[in-house]
Amino acid sequence: MGHRMSKTYFANGWGVSIIEFAFSRGTELAVIGPDGEMHYDNPVAQGDTRGWLTDEEVRELTSEVASWSEDQTFPDWEEE
């Protein structure tokens, strides 16, 4: 397992944090809200950080966050 840590912010104000290191759950992705804080109540985060992701899943989830509007809401998302 490699070591990776990055934060990417998008024009819509949202961002993602991606980490991978010896004690992580594989590659993990967390959503950062426009306020700069971790945002868990959305379909990408699913109430937590997402772990054990493939590089393809990271690209797909990152693209989804980048597509949100600045004032994105998630009325249809419910934690399972």
40: closest CA among 17, 6, 11, 70? 17
Residues 24-53: tens digit of each pLDDT: 999 999 999 999 999 999 999 999 999 999
Look up tokens 């010896």; give the residue: 22
What pLDDT shows up at residue 76?
Answer: 78
Q: What is the pTM of this model?
A: 0.91
Q: What is the mean pLDDT of the chain?
A: 93
